Structure 1
Amino acid sequence: MPSFNPVKQNRVSDEVMDQLKNAVLTGKYTAGDKLPSERELTEMFQVSRVVIREALRSLEIRGFVSIRQGPKGGAYVRQLSFDGVCQSFFDLFLSGRVSVTELIQARQLVQPEVARLSAINLEEASANLLRSALVAETAEHKNHGDRVRARMSTDQAMAKMCGNNLYRAIMETLIHLTQVIILEVKPEKLIFHDQAEHEAIIDAILAQDGPRAAAEMSRHLNTVGEGLMQLEAKFRKTKGLIKF
């Protein structure tokens, strides 16, 4: 079990949080591990239980742990993900600080490069992932939510297979925001482009033709941009949100 240093600062909960976070980041605790109990942590850090609870709560907000209740309760280390980034970006959108126009501009900068890298880094497993995503996009789905998520299967696949975790974080954030808007507005026209556009992108990636994949993606984004901007206006009106 890792050893911790006694805390002697005014904001002691921050120091406790930093030491626990460092223990996770350095692999002393890994995903699924249970941290020591509150009682054990109070003894290890030589602070009050209130301080420990504040520190654990801060870790939970940052996505490092999940706090469970009940007989098997406690603070369990989570697998770090991009969920917090997605939620923060969506909150900025709700507050009117970010618009769909900017979302499209960001996608136009990032997504062609994601497509190019997906082609360059193509492996058998990622090729199969992409083919499965295309099948999911064209399949019949009974409810609106499944249809929306399926329509973005190839975008999500490319985010995973491009080999750049920062691009993946950006893409998953943009995909999440797009999905939330469409799920809320429920437009009659769910897709704003011909399916052949996605097929052209995928054909280029499977051929490992990076420049062609990037060019096809750029053309595709020019098509979908206008439809998404129209959805934003309806979304903000429906939710009574700040207009950008």
Structure 2
Amino acid sequence: MRTDSSFQFEAVSSKKVSDFILKQLEEAIILKELIAGEQLPTERELSSIFNASRLTIREALAELERRGLIERRLGAKGGTFVLPLTDNSHKRNRLEIRQAWDCLTKIFEYRNIIEPETAFLAARRMNKDALIQLRDYLEKSMTEDCTREWFRSLDVRFHLTIAKASANHYFENAVREIRTKINPALDLMPYNQRVKEKNIEGHTDLLQALEKGDGERAREIMTLHIIDAKDAIYKRVFETEIDR
């Protein structure tokens, strides 16, 4: 019988079914796959989608509401609606992010390894449809009537499309995990012409490298893009005044 203790097991955490449903819905909202103002399916429909009881669905929705991600409205035009995260994030998340900065720094270290390599693979494996999709997201982000919430959604979709184009589900899942953790911080960024142009410039350079199939260049641009994002978030979180 082995007596050394060079390895450790983790204690089992008992989770309810509603926790798994909550995680999926929360991720979809944070990643803006469900965007502000969008109505969620009814409890009955969600029950069918998740193959769970309506009571379980109700528990998950109650927690989402408590976290300020959805609101439930009564009346003829009632239902459950996604709340605009970016419009309120500067009020809700700034202190939390400051307190969790050490953890966020580690996530950015992880991101700085994962996403540049994802871009490298995508440049070599991306098909025409994915490039067209990226171009569409980029052009939509340039329009004058692009709202703050929609701009942030397009940014996430741009990065997730690159991750999917890597044709490696480990990288794709890693990018989804990373974006779920850093999006509340990214949502703190102000929405003005300077910020918008900086983001568009980075995405334009990245798209051009992907279109050329230049993996090395795509990796380099993604690395710089990530460093710029971290620096901007740091300034945003620790500065005194909030400029929306």
2:130, 2:165 within 8 Å by CA — same for their partners in 1?
Answer: yes
Q: Return the TM-score normalized by structure 1.
A: 0.55
Query: What amino acid sits opposite 2:50 in the alignment?
Result: V
Superposed CA deviations along residues 127-155 of structure 1, whole A, max 9, x for unmatched, are 21221122122223353212222334421
Deviation, 1:192, is 8.1
Over 3 Å counting, the alpha-carbon distance change for 1:95 and 1:164 in structure 2 is farther
| Cα gap change, 1:184 to 1:217, in 2 (>3 Å) | closer
Alignment of 1:1-244 (within 5 A): 58-63=16-21, 76-77=49-50, 96=100, 99-184=103-188, 186=190, 188=192, 190-191=195-196, 193=198, 195-233=200-238
Closer, same or farther: CA 202–140 of 1 in aligned 2, 3 Å: same
Q: Cα RMSD between the aligned structures?
A: 4.0
TM, length-normalised to structure 2: 0.55
**Offset of 1:109 from its aligned partner?**
0.8
Q: Distance in 2 between matches of 1:73 and 1:204?
A: 41
SS in 2 for 1:193: helix
Q: Verify the 8 A CA contact 1:117 1:162 in the aligned structure 2.
A: yes
Query: For the Cα contact (< 8 Å) 1:115–1:158, is it kept in 2?
Result: yes
Deviations 1:10-65 (A, max 9, x none): xxxx9xxxxxxxxxxxxxxxxxxxxxxxxxxxxxxxxxxxxxxxx9x822322399
Shift of 1:185: 5.9
Q: Which sections of structure 2, spanning at least 5 residues, go unmatched?
A: 1-11, 26-41, 52-66, 68-92
Higher relative contact order (CA 8 A, sep 6+): 2
Give the letter aligned to residue 217 of structure 1.
M
AA matched with 1:62: F
Q: Is the 8 A contact 1:116 1:210 kept in 2?
A: yes
Secondary structure at the aligned position of 2:206 is classed as helix
Change (3 A) 1:224 1:185: closer
CA deviation string 1:167-208 (max 9, x = no partner): 222222333344322435646554483633322211111111
Q: Aligned residue for 2:81?
A: none
Q: Paired residue for 1:82? A: none
Question: Is the CA contact 1:193–1:220 (under 8 Å) kept in the aligned structure 2?
Answer: no
Where 1:170 maps in the other structure, the secondary structure is helix
